[in-house]
Structures are given as structure tokens and as C-alpha cells.
């Protein structure tokens, strides 16, 4: 079973410590509202340098300081919402964003299929340039074999880094 390790236009998991400058040592909370713009810069630089990254929105604005505490935030990437987890790395307000969903490039997915499916004439994974999927979910692409037979090929997203593997075909 082959797996695609996506690079470039697909999430690359990394870990960068973002110290919430909005937190003072005497404040028992982390103010995610003040950290949102810093999170946006880290997410753009680390995961999406070639894509349009919009604002980060964290529904819970103030969270108690607690190492390992996880909050959910959403960032707009290529006009699509992508879910991130914000994890507290220490009790002093240090946080790190970690992707929860993969952003997949249609072109990379189609190239992966061309490489792994024999006797393939054409492949189409839809009309959008990118698509967002949670790990464990499937997506399908339409293929036409060189003998004219049409089928759907299903792939499963393995992780937030955008790794995919063959699931089944019809």
C-alpha cells in the first residue's frame, strides 16, 4: 500500500513555540484573542508560505494556563477554513499551533494517482485547486483507463501532513 508524503502546497507538520506575549507572569490565563495575529504569522511561515493565509479565529478567547491544554482555532487558507489545535507548551503561556486538518493540492493528488495506477488515461480529482480533509476521511477521483473503462479511485487521508493512501476503487 503506497502513501504520499505531501510537501509544498500540503501541510508539513512542524512545531514552533509561540510565546503569547499578551500573557504576563501574574496573569493566570492565556489570551488567544491577542495571540491570533502571531498565530497567523507562524502558520503562514511554517505551513503555507505560498498560499493566502487569512485571519485566525479562536472561539475561546481566554484559557487558563495549563501545560498540555488544547484549544481549537480556525485559520482561512486559500479561502477555506482549516482547523488547528493550539497547545500550551508550558505554564507560562507558551503555545504552539498544530494542524488538525490536511490541505491537499488537487495537482499533487492527481500526480500521485498517475504514479500508482497502471494503464491510466486520465484522472480528475475535481475542479478546486485545493481541498481540506480531516485524517481518516476519504476522497475520490475519477479515472479513465487506457481501455476506456471509467472508475472512481478512493484515497484516505492518513494525517494532518497530507499523507494519503489507497482505500479502494469501483
pLDDT tens profile 110-150: 999 999 888 899 999 999 999 999 999 999 999 999 999 99
Q: What is the dihedral of CA 38, 39, 41, 47, to 10 degrees?
A: 160
pLDDT tens profile 58-99: 998 898 999 999 999 999 998 999 999 999 998 888 899 999
pTM for the full predicted model = 0.73
Long-range contacts of the stretch 35-43 (C-beta < 8 A, 24+):
35/86, 35/95, 36/73, 39/73, 39/75, 39/84, 39/86, 39/95, 39/97, 40/75, 42/16, 42/18, 42/97, 43/75, 43/77, 43/84, 43/97
Amino acid at each position: 500500500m503506497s502513501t504520499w508524503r505531501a510537501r509544498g502546497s500540503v501541510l508539513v507538520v512542524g512545531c514552533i513555540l509561540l510565546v503569547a506575549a499578551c500573557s504576563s507572569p501574574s496573569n493566570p490565563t492565556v489570551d488567544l484573542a491577542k495571540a491570533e495575529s502571531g498565530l497567523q504569522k507562524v502558520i503562514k511561515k511554517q505551513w503555507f508560505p505560498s498560499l493566502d493565509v487569512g485571519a485566525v479565529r479562536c472561539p475561546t478567547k481566554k484559557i487558563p494556563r495549563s501545560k498540555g491544554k488544547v484549544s481549537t482555532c480556525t485559520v482561512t487558507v486559500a479561502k477555506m477554513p482549516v482547523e488547528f489545535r493550539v497547545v500550551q507548551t508550558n505554564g507560562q503561556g507558551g503555545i504552539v499551533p498544530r494542524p488538525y486538518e490536511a490541505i491537499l493540492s488537487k495537482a499533487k493528488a492527481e500526480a500521485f494517482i498517475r504514479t500508482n495506477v497502471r494503464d491510466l488515461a486520465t484522472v480528475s480529482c475535481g475542479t478546486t485547486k485545493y481541498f481540506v480533509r480531516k485524517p481518516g476521511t476519504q476522497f475520490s477521483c475519477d479515472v479513465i483507463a487506457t481501455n476506456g473503462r471509467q472508475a472512481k479511485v478512493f484515497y484516505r487521508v492518513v494525517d494532518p501532513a497530507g499523507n494519503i493512501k489507497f482505500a479502494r476503487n469501483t
